[in-house]
Structure 1
Amino acid sequence: MSAFSSGSAVSGPAIDVLIPAIDKDLGTLPFVIDSLRRHVRHPISHIYVVSPASSRIRDLCARKNCIFVDEATVLPFTKQDIHYSSTRWNRSGWLYQQLLKMNGDRICREPFFLVIDADTVLIRPHRFRSAGKTVFYCRDWSQPEYFRTYRKLLGSAAPSPRSFVTHYMLFEKQKLAALKKMIARRHGLPWHAAIIRSINKKRQFGFSEYETYANYVYSRSRTSVLLRNANNKSLHSPAASLNEKQIRKLARTYRSLSFHQRKGYSIPGKH
C-alpha cells in the first residue's frame, strides 16, 4: 500500500491514539499507524498499541515509535474470564477487546484519545474536533442488540440518529469516565461486570463500545457533536496490495478502508 500525503493543516487539541491488536493484525497494523500520522489533522502525542504479549508487535512498536501496552495490565481480568459463546461462535475475545477500549482513559494521557481498529486504514484527512465539538463518523445500519443492551445499562433508549459503529472514534476521557461511573452506580457493580451481565449471551452481537459511548454523549448534548458520513469501504485483499493510484481512486469516494482479515476475536465455539 503506497500512501500519499494530504495538504490540510494539523491543528486543534493534541490527542493520543489507542489501537487494540493481535498478531493476525500485523499485515495491516503498519499501514494503520502510517495513515494516522498522515491523515489525522491533530497533533498526535502518543500511539498506544494494546496487545497480548507479542514480540512481533513489540518490535513493530519500536520501529514505528509507538508505545506497547500488555493487555493483561489494562483490566482486572483476562479474555479467558469472559464466557460469551455458543456451539457455533465465540465472541469472548471480541467483547474483551471492546472493554479494553473502554478503559483507554486509564492508558492515554491526553484529554482526548482516538480509538481505531487494527484493520482500518485512513485514506483521507480526518478532523475529530471542530469548533469545540466532537466529530463522530457515522453509517446507516447497526445491530438491534446494541440498543437493547444500551437500554439495560443506562435505563433509557439510545437516541441513535445514525450508527456510530465505524471502526474508529474520538473519546473524551472525562465523558468516558462519567459513563462508566453511571453504569457502575446504576447496577451496583464495576462497569465492566455490568456490561457483561447485561448482554444477551444467546446473541452474537450483544454490545458496542462505539454505539454506547457516542449515544451517551449525544443524549446529553446534541449540540456538542457533529455527525459526518464515515464512507468506509470493506476490502478482503491485503493492505499491502494497494498502490498509490488505487488509493487515490478510492479516496474520491471513501474516507477509510477496512481489511477484514481478523479471526482471532471470533473463532468458532467449542462443542
Structure 2
Amino acid sequence: MSVATVSVTSSAPSIDILIPAIEKDLATLPYVIDSLRKYVQHPISNIYIVSPNNSRIRQLCSRKSCVFVNETTVLPFTKKAIRYSSTRWNRSGWLYQQLLKMNGDHICREKYFLVIDADTVLIRPHRFRSGGKSIFYCRNWSQPEYFRTYRKLLGAAASAPKSCVTHYMLFESAKLASLKRTIEARHGMSWHAAVIRSINKKRQFGFSEFETYANYVYSGNRTAVLLKNAKNKSLKIPAGSLTQSQIQKYAGSYRSLSFHQRKGYSTPGKP
C-alpha cells in the first residue's frame, strides 16, 4: 500500500487517535497508521497505541512516531480480572479491549479522539465532524445482545436507526465522560463494573462500546449527529498483498477494508 496525504479541511477540529493492539495486529497495524495519516481530514495531534508491554509494538511506535501506552495503566484492573468465556469460546480479551477504548478520555488530550480497530484500513478520505455535528459511520448489522445490555445500563432502548459497530468511531471526551457518569449514578458502582455485571455472560457478544456511545449521543440530541454508510469490506488476505490498483478499485465502492485474520497472518507488515 502506497501512502500520499489528502488535504486537511481547515475547519475540521484537531483530533487524537487511539488504537488498541496486540502482537498479532502487527500484520496490519503499519497500514492502519499510514491510512489514517493519508485519509483523515483532521489535524492529528497524536496517535496512541494501547498495547501490552511488547517490544515489537514499541519499536513500531518509534518508527511511526506514535505514542505507546501500556494497557495496564489505563484501567484499575487487567484482562486477567475478566471472566467472560465458556467451554467453546473466550471473550475476556475482546471485552477488555472495549473497556480500554471507553477510557480513552483518560489517555487522549484533544477534545475529540478517533478510535479505530487495528485491522481496519481507510481507503477513502474521512471526516468525523461537520457543521458542528459528529459523523457516525453506520451499517445495517448488529447483535441483539448489544441492545439488551444498553437497556440494562441506561434504562432505555437504543434509538439510533442504524448500527454504529463499524470498526471506528469519533468520541467526544466530555460526552464519553457523561455517559460513564450516567452509568455510575444509575448502578451505584464504577462504569466498568456495571458493564461487566450487565452482560449476559452465557452469550458471546454481550456489549459494544461503539453502539453504547453512539446511542447515548444520539438519544441526547439526534440533530447533532450525521449518519453515513460505512461501506466497509472484509477481506481474508494479508493487508500488504494489495496493490495500489486493487486499492483504487475497492475505493470505488468502499470507504475502508478490514482484515479480520484470527490466525495465519501474524507476520509484521512492512513499515
Please indicate the TM-score interval, normalised by the length of the shorter structure.
over 0.9
Write the distance in 2 (CA, Å) between the matches of 1:3 and 1:239: 14
Superposition deviation, residue 141 in structure 1: 1.1
> Which residues in structure 2 correspond to 1:239-254 (within 5 Å)?
239-254=239-254
Write the distance in 2 (CA, Å) between the matches of 1:4 and 1:112: 24
CA shift digits 1:92-142 (9 cap, x unpaired): 000000000000000000000000000000000000000000000000010
Residue 258 of structure 2: aligned partner? 258
Residue 131 of structure 1: aligned partner? 131
Residue 22 of structure 1: aligned partner? 22
Write the distance in 2 (CA, Å) between the matches of 1:164 and 1:138: 5
Superposition deviation, residue 12 in structure 1: 1.1
Amino acid paired to 1:73: T
User: Alignment partner of 1:68: what SS?
Assistant: strand
Identity of aligned residues (%): 74
Is the CA contact (8 Å cut-off) linking 1:143 and 1:205 kept in structure 2? yes
Q: CA RMSD in A?
A: 1.0
User: Alignment partner of 2:197: what SS?
Assistant: helix
> Which residues in structure 2 correspond to 1:67-216 (within 5 Å)?
67-216=67-216
Is the CA contact (8 Å cut-off) linking 1:135 and 1:228 kept in structure 2? yes
Write the distance in 2 (CA, Å) between the matches of 1:79 and 1:102: 15
Is the CA contact (8 Å cut-off) linking 1:11 and 1:41 kept in structure 2? no
User: Alignment partner of 1:26: what SS?
Assistant: helix
Superposition deviation, residue 261 in structure 1: 1.1
Write the distance in 2 (CA, Å) between the matches of 1:201 and 1:228: 32
Write the distance in 1 (CA, Å) between the matches of 2:6 and 2:103: 32
Write the distance in 1 (CA, Å) between the matches of 2:4 and 2:235: 19
Is the CA contact (8 Å cut-off) linking 1:3 and 1:243 kept in structure 2? no
Is the CA contact (8 Å cut-off) linking 1:16 and 1:112 kept in structure 2? yes
CA shift digits 1:181-225 (9 cap, x unpaired): 000110001000000000000000000000000000000100000
Write the distance in 1 (CA, Å) between the matches of 2:146 and 2:118: 22
Decide whether aligned partners of structure 1 residues 54 and 182 sit closer, same or farther in structure 2, where only a CA change above 3 A counts.
same
Structure 1: where are the runs of 5+ without partners? 264-271
Write the distance in 2 (CA, Å) between the matches of 1:15 and 1:64: 17
Superposition deviation, residue 62 in structure 1: 0.3
Is the CA contact (8 Å cut-off) linking 1:32 and 1:122 kept in structure 2? yes
TM normalised by structure 1 equals 0.95
TM normalised by structure 2 equals 0.95
User: Alignment partner of 2:85: what SS?
Assistant: coil
User: Alignment partner of 1:195: what SS?
Assistant: helix
How many residue pairs are counted as aligned between the two chains?
263
Write the distance in 2 (CA, Å) between the matches of 1:113 and 1:8: 16
Is the CA contact (8 Å cut-off) linking 1:79 and 1:93 kept in structure 2? yes
CA shift digits 1:21-76 (9 cap, x unpaired): 00000010000000000000000000000000100000000000000000000000
Is the CA contact (8 Å cut-off) linking 2:19 and 2:48 kept in structure 1? yes
Residue 40 of structure 1: aligned partner? 40
Superposition deviation, residue 2 in structure 1: 2.9
Write the distance in 2 (CA, Å) between the matches of 1:157 and 1:23: 37
Write the distance in 1 (CA, Å) between the matches of 2:224 and 2:155: 22
Residue 266 of structure 2: aligned partner? none
Decide whether aligned partners of structure 1 residues 140 and 101 sit closer, same or farther in structure 2, where only a CA change above 3 A counts.
same
Is the CA contact (8 Å cut-off) linking 2:139 and 2:164 kept in structure 1? yes
Write the distance in 2 (CA, Å) between the matches of 1:262 and 1:49: 20
